[in-house]
Chain A
Amino acid sequence: GESVGLHLPTLSVQEGDNSIINCAYSNSASDYFIWYKQESGKGPQFIIDIRSNMDKRQGQRVTVLLNKTVKHLSLQIAATQPGDSAVYFCADLVTGNQFYFGTGTSLTVIP
């Protein structure tokens, strides 16, 4: 079954503020994590990934933090824009196994 879950199903932020989306996982053997963005009616798009030997990775306006001690993953979006409104999923992978996805957080950006 699923090994990841999310703390909040919805999140509303003011345009220009930073967003933080959280995710918990339960499988200590998970060695790879991904964040996806899904817009309505479309397939998920890759945002950023992180391996278990790292605790932080930065992309363009996004940062993923991994805390293996408490099995927690977060996605930080800087200066949130209206185009960031979407559902965000975290997924984990145990190499040689399949991806498991959380239930998603719906982010709404208020102009």
Chain B
Amino acid sequence: DGGITQSPKYLFRKEGQNVTLSCEQNLNHDAMYWYRQDPGQGLRLIYYSQIVNDFQKGDIAEGYSVSREKKESFPLTVTSAQKNPTAFYLCASSIGDRVAQKAFFGQGTRLTVV
């Protein structure tokens, strides 16, 4: 089955530690996205990538980093510089900017920093 997979589902980290969230897709999509969702709020864009080896900052990129070395993978690192990292993180992918098509979402990773 084709899809987009995020792991782990729940993640706990101590304050001051970097943590990397995994996102893998086998949909052959060019574009991938990371969103952050806080309770009772909408989705805010952290980073997006339209093609391998290229990515752009979204609205709330500070304290986060990404890489796009492979088409299938778009890992997100939450660094110690992110002041309020506890949140629900969602990864998505879409065909890309050649044509407007829906984005598919993973099931999310809930990160708790203690």
How many A-B pairs fall under 8 Å by CB?
A: 56
Question: Does B42 lie within 8 Å of A89, measured CB to CB?
Answer: yes
Which B residue sits closest to A89, measured CB to CB? B42
Which residues of chain B come closer than 8 Å to A101, judged between CB atoms?
35, 42-43
Question: Does A98 lie within 8 Å of B48, measured CB to CB?
Answer: yes
Give how many B residues have a beta carbon under 8 Å from the other chain's beta carbons: 26
Using a CB–CB distance below 8 Å, which chain A residues touch chain B?
Answer: 1-2, 31-32, 34, 36, 41-46, 49, 51, 89, 91, 93, 95-104
Contacts A31-B100, A49-B102, A99-B45 given; 20 further ones with Cβ under 8 A?
A1-B59, A34-B102, A36-B105, A41-B110, A42-B107, A42-B108, A43-B90, A43-B106, A44-B90, A44-B105, A46-B102, A51-B100, A95-B97, A96-B97, A98-B48, A98-B56, A99-B94, A102-B42, A103-B41, A104-B42
